[in-house]
Amino acid sequence: MTSPVLPSHGRARPLGLAQVSLTGGFWGSRQAVNATATLAHCESWMERLGWLANFDRVADGTTGPDRPGWSFSDSEVYKLLEALAWESARSGDPEAEAAIKRLTARVARAQDPDGYLNTCFGHAGQPPRYSDLEMGHELYNTGHLLQAAVARLRTRGEDDLVRVARRAADHVCRVFGPDGPAGICGHPEIEVGLAEFGRALAEERYVEQARLFLDRRGHGTLRDIPLGRAYFQDDVPVREAPVWRGHAVRALYLAAAAVDVAVERGDDELLRAVERQWERSVARRTYLTGGMGSRHQDEGFGEDWELPPDRAYCETCAGVASIMVSWRLHLATGDVRYTDLIERTLYNVMATSPSADGRAFFYANPLHQRVPGRPAGPDEVSPRAEAGVRAAWFDVSCCPTNVARTLASLHGYLATTDDEGLQIHQYAPCEIRAELPGGRPAAVDVETAYPASGAVRVRIVADAPAPWTLALRVPAWAAGATLTDSGRTRPVEPGLARVRRAFRAGDEIVLHLPVEPRFTWPDPRIDAVRGCVAVERGPEVLCVESRDLPDPGGFDSLVVDPRSVPQAVPDGALVRGRTLPLAEPSWPYPAGPADPAEGGEWFDVLLRPYHEWARRGPSGMRIFLPVSPEHRAVPLEGSVPGE
């Protein structure tokens, strides 16, 4: 079966990628742009910057100290190969297949006779192999090679890329096995790569090597660095850690691997540890967008409640990694809180990053941009992650290929099956041709304009004489949702709404999710946005862009009236707001409250989806809007309608 993640058991089973296809809509169009633009865009940048030629130089024996790219640039080639493998299987695009062959040939030539494969270490003019486990990313690169090979194995079977990956994995197992040095990689990834590679080949020893790496971590195995060992999660063993901390992508790739190993080993203690970390990190260290990472200094999680909107890092890769963890936890437990978070992250991190043409990306995803970014040219490499505009490529360019591989396999994250039936978690126009135990078909077509509309129409396309259960996820925000079946409508609660019967082809079940815009309040312990509200519409977080204000100069003093009900408009929502008439201070700390309760004309403030921000050009942007001073006593639990 073809799927990025295939646990040997669990409460929910992923569908094979061949069993689901997106047929358009919000995600279908993004997947199409990924296929037609992003994949070639990534390859051309790696060629242009010499990241691909690094493989040729190893093969030709012409390496030296002048190698272009960071030590992890090989991983971008592997992530692109993974994306191409999913895409080739999805669409049968001959160009994707040709690109795989082209890239694989160059990668294969660079492999040393003993299986070691890396363009930054171990050759003439380079540092010795594994001489910088803290920051050298050698095993990290190999982990991405293994994930690319998994995509190939599950879509085409054994080929040159798989053979290269197997030799590289065997080399890792020989060097770092139980009798080898107690080394681990500063950037987790080899663990998740080995675990899935072991599953794909049904070779337990690779899963065992992943377990070994996991258990070695957290004991001060790596040298200390100025950022501290929490940066690479070597401060506390993974099964003892109460919360995610340090570099967000590292923490989340490690957590994903921990779920894989826990499931394969029946290690419930380890699984429960990751669930606990998820619970506390989501409750206290996650942004409204689903974004993770509050600090730029170490691209890391902050302390509990440390969630500044303007300094939010929320790396796109951390969004991808969060989806990886939540998906694995969902498959293990069947709990839809995980697929709820996946939805939030998909619409507000994944969808935000790529430009409409698929050739520029956000790296950091802050919730507040004070000053419009500087326009970035299509030939410019952005030196900084925090640009305020989407950039064609980055000096550290991990995010574009992560977006590419996720979008290429996105249809694999829409639905699951269990012994009872089919569960649909993400709503998009699609065709699902699942099979239940005993070969019973669970085949449906989904029609919806979600998230613009909350109506999700599920049509059964195959008769089933025996009853099965169709379960539709009702998001936590969807209070007041209803389900219509056989002409009868009933209210459904957040969780899974189930319909069980013997379905006939042509039967229709319609889920109605209330996607009217609504106010959302932050927990008051999130100091940075205390006294503010946000507006959401269905799964989308909305934002104000300074360019949409009648006076963009009043952006910093905008306040809103949370007693008014946000009004739905095609673009997003309108709320009542005004800009406070504030004088320029010589010292911004007066003796008493400075915000005037009156003054400034009230007007309708337009909010648009956050994922759309800066698409019309650089702009100021904010998600959390300060409540107007005279309205600050409104109850925290909800808005009071009308005036």
- List contacts with Zn ion (CB under 5 A): 315, 317, 398-399
Residue with structure tokens 């013997």?
502
The smaller minimum CB distance to Zn ion, of residues 110 and 248, is found at: 248
CB contact burial 594-605 (16+ within 10 A = b; e otherwise): ebeeeebeeeeb
Structure tokens at 632: 């600050």
The smaller minimum CB distance to Zn ion, of residues 317 and 404, is found at: 317
Structure tokens at 296: 């730029």
The smaller minimum CB distance to Zn ion, of residues 88 and 348, is found at: 348
CB of 158 to Zn ion, least distance (A): 31
Three-state DSSP class for 160?
helix
Residue partners of 116: CB distance under 8 A and separation at least 6: 122, 129, 168, 171
Under a CB-based contact definition with an 8 Å cutoff, are residues 246 and 300 in contact? Answer: yes
Structure tokens at 381: 């490499």
The smaller minimum CB distance to Zn ion, of residues 155 and 365, is found at: 365
Please state the separation of Cα 535 from the chain's center in Å. Answer: 22
Distance between CA atoms of residues 389 and 374, nearest Å = 7
Distance between CA atoms of residues 459 and 463, nearest Å = 11
CB of 425 to Zn ion, least distance (A): 25
Distance between CA atoms of residues 97 and 103, nearest Å = 10
Torsion angles phi and psi, residue 146, rounded to 5: -65, -40
Distance between CA atoms of residues 328 and 216, nearest Å = 22
CB of 493 to Zn ion, least distance (A): 37
CB of 113 to Zn ion, least distance (A): 33
Q: Do β-strands 603-609 and 572-579 pair in parallel, antiparallel, or remain unpaired? A: antiparallel
CB of 316 to Zn ion, least distance (A): 5
> Residue type for 439, please?
G
Under a CB-based contact definition with an 8 Å cutoff, are residues 190 and 172 in contact? Answer: yes
The smaller minimum CB distance to Zn ion, of residues 396 and 430, is found at: 396
CB of 278 to Zn ion, least distance (A): 21
Torsion angles phi and psi, residue 148, rounded to 5: -65, -40
Distance between CA atoms of residues 111 and 179, nearest Å = 24
Alpha helices in 358-460 (DSSP H): 398-408
CB of 70 to Zn ion, least distance (A): 12
The smaller minimum CB distance to Zn ion, of residues 186 and 620, is found at: 186
Under a CB-based contact definition with an 8 Å cutoff, are residues 234 and 219 in contact? Answer: yes
CB of 215 to Zn ion, least distance (A): 27
Composition of the chain by helix, strand, coil, percent to 5 = 35, 20, 45
The smaller minimum CB distance to Zn ion, of residues 308 and 319, is found at: 319
Three-state DSSP class for 607?
strand
Instruction: Note if the bond before 550 is cis, omega within 30 degrees.
Output: no
CB of 365 to Zn ion, least distance (A): 10
Residue with structure tokens 């800009």?
579
Under a CB-based contact definition with an 8 Å cutoff, are residues 90 and 408 in contact? Answer: yes
Question: What kind and span of H or E run contains 253?
Answer: helix 248-265
CB of 313 to Zn ion, least distance (A): 10
CB of 382 to Zn ion, least distance (A): 12
The smaller minimum CB distance to Zn ion, of residues 315 and 536, is found at: 315
CB of 363 to Zn ion, least distance (A): 6
Distance between CA atoms of residues 76 and 41, nearest Å = 12
The smaller minimum CB distance to Zn ion, of residues 393 and 450, is found at: 393
> Residue type for 166, please?
R
What is the 3 state secondary structure string of 320-341? HHHHHHHHHHHHHHCCHHHHHH
Three-state DSSP class for 169?
helix
The smaller minimum CB distance to Zn ion, of residues 189 and 315, is found at: 315
The smaller minimum CB distance to Zn ion, of residues 401 and 416, is found at: 401
Closest residue by beta carbon to Zn ion: 317
CB of 535 to Zn ion, least distance (A): 28
What is the 3 state secondary structure string of 86-122? HHHHHHCCHHHHHHHHHHHHHHHHCCCCCCCCCCCCC
Residue with structure tokens 């169709």?
470
CB of 396 to Zn ion, least distance (A): 7
The smaller minimum CB distance to Zn ion, of residues 79 and 576, is found at: 79
The smaller minimum CB distance to Zn ion, of residues 292 and 336, is found at: 292
The smaller minimum CB distance to Zn ion, of residues 138 and 315, is found at: 315
Q: For residue 162, what is the DSSP state?
A: H
